[in-house]
Amino acid sequence: MKLLQCLSVLASSALLARSVLASPAASPRLPDTKNTQATASKREENQENEKKEDKPSDPRYFHEPGGNMYLNHYDHMMRSYLIFFHEKNLETWIAHGSLLGWWWNGKMLPWDWDIDTQVPDQTLYYLGENYNQTTYQYRAAGEAKIRNYLIDVNPHFREREHGDGANFIDARWIDMDNGLYIDITGLSELDPATKPGVWSCKNFHDYRTADIYPLRDTFFEGVPARIPYAYDKVLLDEYHEKALVVTDFEGHRWDATRREWLRVQDQAVTPRHDGPHLGSKALRRRAAPEQQQQQQQQHSPAEKAT
Protein backbone atom coordinates (compact mmCIF):
# COMPACT_ATOMS: atom_id res chain seq x y z
CA MET A 1 0.00 0.00 0.00
CA LYS A 2 2.56 2.52 1.11
CA LEU A 3 4.99 1.42 -1.54
CA LEU A 4 2.39 1.87 -4.22
CA GLN A 5 1.49 5.23 -2.84
CA CYS A 6 5.08 6.40 -2.80
CA LEU A 7 5.97 5.08 -6.19
CA SER A 8 2.95 6.77 -7.60
CA VAL A 9 3.96 9.99 -5.96
CA LEU A 10 7.35 9.64 -7.53
CA ALA A 11 5.61 9.22 -10.83
CA SER A 12 3.81 12.52 -10.15
CA SER A 13 0.40 10.97 -10.23
CA ALA A 14 -0.56 11.31 -6.63
CA LEU A 15 -4.13 12.22 -7.43
CA LEU A 16 -4.60 9.19 -9.59
CA ALA A 17 -3.00 7.07 -6.93
CA ARG A 18 -5.38 8.39 -4.35
CA SER A 19 -8.37 7.67 -6.46
CA VAL A 20 -7.23 4.08 -6.67
CA LEU A 21 -5.96 3.72 -3.14
CA ALA A 22 -8.70 5.58 -1.41
CA SER A 23 -11.54 3.53 -2.79
CA PRO A 24 -13.13 1.10 -0.38
CA ALA A 25 -12.49 -1.75 -2.78
CA ALA A 26 -8.77 -1.17 -2.53
CA SER A 27 -8.90 -0.74 1.23
CA PRO A 28 -6.42 -2.87 3.12
CA ARG A 29 -8.37 -2.38 6.29
CA LEU A 30 -10.34 -5.54 6.46
CA PRO A 31 -7.71 -7.85 7.82
CA ASP A 32 -9.63 -11.09 7.89
CA THR A 33 -12.93 -12.64 7.05
CA LYS A 34 -14.04 -12.78 10.64
CA ASN A 35 -13.72 -9.05 11.03
CA THR A 36 -15.30 -8.42 7.69
CA GLN A 37 -18.32 -10.44 8.70
CA ALA A 38 -18.49 -8.73 12.05
CA THR A 39 -18.36 -5.36 10.36
CA ALA A 40 -20.93 -6.34 7.78
CA SER A 41 -23.38 -7.43 10.44
CA LYS A 42 -22.76 -4.22 12.36
CA ARG A 43 -23.49 -2.32 9.23
CA GLU A 44 -26.80 -4.14 8.81
CA GLU A 45 -27.60 -3.44 12.42
CA ASN A 46 -26.89 0.24 11.86
CA GLN A 47 -29.07 0.34 8.79
CA GLU A 48 -31.84 -1.36 10.72
CA ASN A 49 -31.59 1.20 13.48
CA GLU A 50 -31.65 3.97 10.97
CA LYS A 51 -34.82 2.68 9.40
CA LYS A 52 -36.50 2.50 12.79
CA GLU A 53 -35.69 6.00 13.87
CA ASP A 54 -36.04 9.13 11.90
CA LYS A 55 -32.91 10.51 13.42
CA PRO A 56 -29.93 8.56 14.65
CA SER A 57 -29.90 7.94 18.40
CA ASP A 58 -26.76 10.00 18.69
CA PRO A 59 -26.54 12.93 16.31
CA ARG A 60 -22.81 12.52 15.97
CA TYR A 61 -23.36 9.21 14.28
CA PHE A 62 -24.70 9.99 10.91
CA HIS A 63 -24.69 7.25 8.38
CA GLU A 64 -24.46 8.33 4.84
CA PRO A 65 -27.12 6.99 2.53
CA GLY A 66 -25.41 4.06 0.95
CA GLY A 67 -23.68 3.64 4.26
CA ASN A 68 -20.13 4.56 4.98
CA MET A 69 -20.27 3.47 8.58
CA TYR A 70 -16.52 3.23 8.82
CA LEU A 71 -16.19 6.96 9.20
CA ASN A 72 -17.44 6.77 12.79
CA HIS A 73 -14.74 4.29 13.66
CA TYR A 74 -12.21 6.43 11.88
CA ASP A 75 -13.13 9.57 13.82
CA HIS A 76 -12.81 7.81 17.16
CA MET A 77 -9.63 6.08 16.13
CA MET A 78 -8.07 9.37 15.11
CA ARG A 79 -9.19 11.20 18.24
CA SER A 80 -8.11 8.45 20.61
CA TYR A 81 -4.71 8.33 18.95
CA LEU A 82 -4.19 12.07 19.18
CA ILE A 83 -5.39 12.19 22.77
CA PHE A 84 -3.10 9.34 23.80
CA PHE A 85 -0.07 10.97 22.21
CA HIS A 86 -1.01 14.30 23.72
CA GLU A 87 -1.49 12.81 27.21
CA LYS A 88 1.80 10.94 27.08
CA ASN A 89 3.59 13.91 25.62
CA LEU A 90 4.71 11.87 22.63
CA GLU A 91 5.54 13.72 19.46
CA THR A 92 3.42 12.96 16.45
CA TRP A 93 1.88 14.84 13.57
CA ILE A 94 -0.63 14.11 10.86
CA ALA A 95 0.63 13.25 7.40
CA HIS A 96 -0.30 12.44 3.82
CA GLY A 97 -4.05 12.27 3.10
CA SER A 98 -4.89 13.10 6.70
CA LEU A 99 -2.86 16.31 6.42
CA LEU A 100 -4.65 17.14 3.20
CA GLY A 101 -7.98 16.64 4.97
CA TRP A 102 -6.81 18.96 7.75
CA TRP A 103 -5.87 21.57 5.18
CA TRP A 104 -9.42 21.67 3.84
CA ASN A 105 -11.43 21.68 7.06
CA GLY A 106 -9.57 20.12 9.95
CA LYS A 107 -11.12 16.73 9.32
CA MET A 108 -10.41 13.54 7.47
CA LEU A 109 -11.32 13.43 3.81
CA PRO A 110 -14.57 11.45 3.74
CA TRP A 111 -13.33 9.17 0.97
CA ASP A 112 -9.91 8.54 2.47
CA TRP A 113 -9.56 5.09 3.99
CA ASP A 114 -6.05 5.68 5.12
CA ILE A 115 -5.14 7.53 8.29
CA ASP A 116 -1.50 8.47 8.35
CA THR A 117 0.61 9.87 11.10
CA GLN A 118 4.33 10.31 11.49
CA VAL A 119 6.65 10.28 14.48
CA PRO A 120 10.37 10.95 14.84
CA ASP A 121 12.42 7.77 15.22
CA GLN A 122 13.14 8.61 18.86
CA THR A 123 9.43 8.48 19.59
CA LEU A 124 9.18 5.20 17.74
CA TYR A 125 11.96 3.71 19.87
CA TYR A 126 10.27 4.98 22.98
CA LEU A 127 6.94 3.53 21.86
CA GLY A 128 8.58 0.18 21.12
CA GLU A 129 10.27 0.05 24.50
CA ASN A 130 7.44 1.36 26.65
CA TYR A 131 4.10 0.93 24.97
CA ASN A 132 4.25 -2.06 22.66
CA GLN A 133 1.03 -4.08 23.03
CA THR A 134 -0.40 -1.49 25.38
CA THR A 135 -4.15 -1.12 25.31
CA TYR A 136 -5.61 2.35 25.55
CA GLN A 137 -9.17 2.76 26.71
CA TYR A 138 -11.02 5.63 25.21
CA ARG A 139 -14.47 6.93 25.96
CA ALA A 140 -15.84 9.54 23.62
CA ALA A 141 -17.55 12.53 25.23
CA GLY A 142 -21.19 11.81 26.02
CA GLU A 143 -20.86 8.13 25.26
CA ALA A 144 -20.94 5.13 27.56
CA LYS A 145 -19.06 2.78 25.26
CA ILE A 146 -15.41 2.14 26.05
CA ARG A 147 -13.27 1.67 22.96
CA ASN A 148 -9.99 -0.19 23.13
CA TYR A 149 -7.00 0.54 20.99
CA LEU A 150 -3.80 -1.45 20.81
CA ILE A 151 -0.33 -0.17 20.04
CA ASP A 152 1.66 -2.60 17.96
CA VAL A 153 5.26 -1.77 17.14
CA ASN A 154 6.95 -3.54 14.25
CA PRO A 155 9.92 -5.55 15.59
CA HIS A 156 11.94 -4.34 12.59
CA PHE A 157 11.40 -0.71 13.42
CA ARG A 158 15.08 -0.23 14.14
CA GLU A 159 16.02 -1.04 10.56
CA ARG A 160 15.77 2.43 9.25
CA GLU A 161 16.77 1.67 5.69
CA HIS A 162 14.29 0.80 2.96
CA GLY A 163 15.24 -2.88 3.17
CA ASP A 164 13.19 -5.33 1.18
CA GLY A 165 10.05 -3.25 1.37
CA ALA A 166 8.28 -5.65 3.69
CA ASN A 167 8.39 -3.45 6.78
CA PHE A 168 7.26 -0.03 5.73
CA ILE A 169 4.86 0.48 8.57
CA ASP A 170 6.66 1.01 11.84
CA ALA A 171 3.74 0.87 14.20
CA ARG A 172 -0.01 0.68 14.25
CA TRP A 173 -2.81 2.04 16.37
CA ILE A 174 -5.38 -0.71 16.11
CA ASP A 175 -9.10 -0.51 16.87
CA MET A 176 -9.64 -3.73 18.80
CA ASP A 177 -13.32 -3.84 17.87
CA ASN A 178 -12.79 -4.22 14.17
CA GLY A 179 -9.10 -4.37 13.28
CA LEU A 180 -9.04 -0.98 11.54
CA TYR A 181 -5.78 0.81 12.18
CA ILE A 182 -3.74 3.95 11.81
CA ASP A 183 -0.37 3.62 10.11
CA ILE A 184 2.36 5.21 12.17
CA THR A 185 5.53 5.91 10.26
CA GLY A 186 8.84 6.91 11.80
CA LEU A 187 11.11 9.50 10.27
CA SER A 188 14.89 9.29 10.62
CA GLU A 189 17.82 11.35 9.64
CA LEU A 190 19.26 8.46 7.67
CA ASP A 191 22.57 10.00 6.78
CA PRO A 192 23.45 12.85 9.13
CA ALA A 193 27.04 13.01 7.79
CA THR A 194 26.34 13.60 4.12
CA LYS A 195 22.68 14.65 4.23
CA PRO A 196 22.18 16.52 7.49
CA GLY A 197 18.64 17.70 8.15
CA VAL A 198 17.07 15.29 5.68
CA TRP A 199 14.43 13.13 7.32
CA SER A 200 13.16 10.06 5.54
CA CYS A 201 10.49 7.49 6.10
CA LYS A 202 11.09 3.99 4.87
CA ASN A 203 8.97 4.58 1.82
CA PHE A 204 11.03 7.25 0.15
CA HIS A 205 9.41 10.43 1.43
CA ASP A 206 12.07 12.96 2.33
CA TYR A 207 11.54 16.02 4.49
CA ARG A 208 13.85 18.81 5.64
CA THR A 209 14.05 19.60 9.32
CA ALA A 210 12.58 23.02 8.56
CA ASP A 211 9.62 21.42 6.75
CA ILE A 212 8.59 19.75 9.97
CA TYR A 213 9.92 21.75 12.91
CA PRO A 214 8.76 23.56 14.88
CA LEU A 215 5.51 21.63 14.73
CA ARG A 216 2.36 23.73 14.67
CA ASP A 217 -0.42 23.19 17.16
CA THR A 218 -3.85 22.84 15.67
CA PHE A 219 -6.99 20.73 15.90
CA PHE A 220 -7.90 17.69 13.90
CA GLU A 221 -11.31 16.06 14.19
CA GLY A 222 -11.94 18.40 17.10
CA VAL A 223 -8.99 17.40 19.28
CA PRO A 224 -5.51 18.94 19.69
CA ALA A 225 -3.12 17.79 17.00
CA ARG A 226 0.12 18.83 15.40
CA ILE A 227 1.13 19.39 11.83
CA PRO A 228 4.45 20.02 10.08
CA TYR A 229 5.60 23.62 10.15
CA ALA A 230 5.68 23.96 6.35
CA TYR A 231 2.46 21.99 5.83
CA ASP A 232 1.75 23.79 2.57
CA LYS A 233 5.11 22.86 1.10
CA VAL A 234 4.73 19.29 2.33
CA LEU A 235 1.30 19.03 0.69
CA LEU A 236 2.41 20.63 -2.56
CA ASP A 237 5.41 18.32 -2.79
CA GLU A 238 3.26 15.28 -2.29
CA TYR A 239 -0.02 16.11 -4.00
CA HIS A 240 0.70 19.13 -6.20
CA GLU A 241 -1.44 22.21 -6.46
CA LYS A 242 -4.45 20.37 -7.84
CA ALA A 243 -5.20 18.70 -4.53
CA LEU A 244 -5.51 22.12 -2.87
CA VAL A 245 -7.70 23.57 -5.60
CA VAL A 246 -9.91 20.91 -7.15
CA THR A 247 -13.31 20.92 -5.43
CA ASP A 248 -14.83 17.90 -7.15
CA PHE A 249 -13.19 14.76 -6.01
CA GLU A 250 -14.01 11.11 -5.49
CA GLY A 251 -17.74 11.68 -5.79
CA HIS A 252 -17.60 14.57 -3.33
CA ARG A 253 -17.89 18.29 -3.80
CA TRP A 254 -16.42 20.96 -1.56
CA ASP A 255 -19.14 23.11 -0.03
CA ALA A 256 -17.44 26.38 0.84
CA THR A 257 -20.31 27.59 3.03
CA ARG A 258 -20.43 24.53 5.22
CA ARG A 259 -16.73 23.91 4.90
CA GLU A 260 -17.45 20.25 4.25
CA TRP A 261 -16.89 17.74 1.54
CA LEU A 262 -20.40 16.58 0.61
CA ARG A 263 -21.26 13.63 -1.49
CA VAL A 264 -22.44 14.75 -4.88
CA GLN A 265 -25.44 12.46 -4.55
CA ASP A 266 -26.54 14.26 -1.37
CA GLN A 267 -26.15 17.66 -2.95
CA ALA A 268 -28.25 16.69 -5.93
CA VAL A 269 -31.35 16.47 -3.71
CA THR A 270 -30.69 19.80 -1.99
CA PRO A 271 -30.43 23.25 -3.51
CA ARG A 272 -26.86 24.42 -3.13
CA HIS A 273 -27.67 27.49 -1.04
CA ASP A 274 -29.91 25.90 1.55
CA GLY A 275 -29.15 26.69 5.14
CA PRO A 276 -28.01 23.74 7.21
CA HIS A 277 -31.50 23.21 8.65
CA LEU A 278 -33.33 23.20 5.37
CA GLY A 279 -31.42 20.46 3.69
CA SER A 280 -32.12 16.79 3.27
CA LYS A 281 -32.08 14.50 6.26
CA ALA A 282 -28.59 13.41 5.39
CA LEU A 283 -27.34 16.96 5.34
CA ARG A 284 -29.01 17.83 8.62
CA ARG A 285 -27.23 14.93 10.18
CA ARG A 286 -23.95 16.16 8.88
CA ALA A 287 -24.57 19.51 10.48
CA ALA A 288 -25.46 18.09 13.89
CA PRO A 289 -25.03 20.76 16.60
CA GLU A 290 -21.99 19.22 18.19
CA GLN A 291 -20.23 18.99 14.87
CA GLN A 292 -20.93 22.61 14.14
CA GLN A 293 -19.62 23.57 17.53
CA GLN A 294 -16.52 21.53 16.99
CA GLN A 295 -15.96 23.19 13.69
CA GLN A 296 -16.17 26.59 15.22
CA GLN A 297 -13.65 25.63 17.82
CA GLN A 298 -11.29 24.37 15.23
CA HIS A 299 -8.53 26.52 14.05
CA SER A 300 -9.21 27.41 10.50
CA PRO A 301 -6.36 26.13 8.35
CA ALA A 302 -6.91 29.05 6.00
CA GLU A 303 -6.39 31.49 8.85
CA LYS A 304 -3.25 29.74 9.92
CA ALA A 305 -1.72 30.11 6.52
CA THR A 306 -1.18 33.81 7.01
Ligand X SMILES: *[C@@H]1O[C@H](CO)[C@@H](O)[C@H](O)[C@H]1NC(C)=O
CB 130, min distance to ligand X, A: 11
CB of 55 or CB of 158, closer to ligand X: 158
CB 128, min distance to ligand X, A: 4
CB of 78 or CB of 127, closer to ligand X: 127
CB 113, min distance to ligand X, A: 25
**Helix or strand or coil: residue 172?**
strand
CB 33, min distance to ligand X, A: 22
CB 169, min distance to ligand X, A: 12
Binding region for ligand X (CB under 6 A)? 128, 132-133, 153, 155, 157
Residue from 138, 133, 101 nearest 116 by CA: 101
CB of 157 or CB of 261, closer to ligand X: 157
CB of 153 or CB of 282, closer to ligand X: 153
Please state, in angstroms and rounded to a whole number, the distance separating the CA atoms of residues 135 and 152. Answer: 9
**Helix or strand or coil: residue 108?**
coil
| Sheet of strand 260-263, all strands in order from the earlier edge strand to the far edge | 248-249, 252-255, 260-263
Please state, in angstroms and rounded to a whole number, the distance separating the CA atoms of residues 235 and 103. Answer: 9
Find the residue with minimal CB distance to ligand X: 155
CB of 156 or CB of 284, closer to ligand X: 156
Note if the bond before 110 is cis, omega within 30 degrees: no
13-32 burial string, b = 16+ CB within 10 Å, else e?
Answer: ebbebbeebbeeeeeebbee
